[in-house]
Structure 1
Amino acid sequence: MNDQYYVSWGTLALINAGIAQGKNRGGLNWFLLSLLLGPIATLILVVYDKK
């Protein structure tokens, strides 16, 4: 795997943290979760409503 893959995955995790904070959820928790789940975490954030 090349470095661009890791940069893209990290960028997605940062975007997910921003989405989570916008929905009144813990940004750090979602950032860490996104590092593990990636696009699946994005789907979860988009589908579920705000707190």
Structure 2
Amino acid sequence: MSPALLGRWQRSALEQAVPSSTEREEIQRLRAELKRVEIEREAVTIFAQPQL
């Protein structure tokens, strides 16, 4: 196996492992949406409990 081939494989693997700026933005957006949904679910759970 030549060092050049190994280097190409390594660069290719690193490019796939590191998210692009578009992917990072989507991850941030999805994390924010997940947090909002978790808060909404928690609120529904609290308000759905019978009042004593």
TM-score interval, smaller chain: 0.3 to 0.5
Determine which structure has the larger helix proportion and give its number.
2
The TM-score normalised by the length of structure 2 is 0.44
Q: Which has the larger radius of gyration?
A: 2
The TM-score normalised by the length of structure 1 is 0.45
Identify which of structures 1 and 2 has the higher relative contact order when contacts are C-alpha pairs closer than 8 Å and 6+ apart: 1
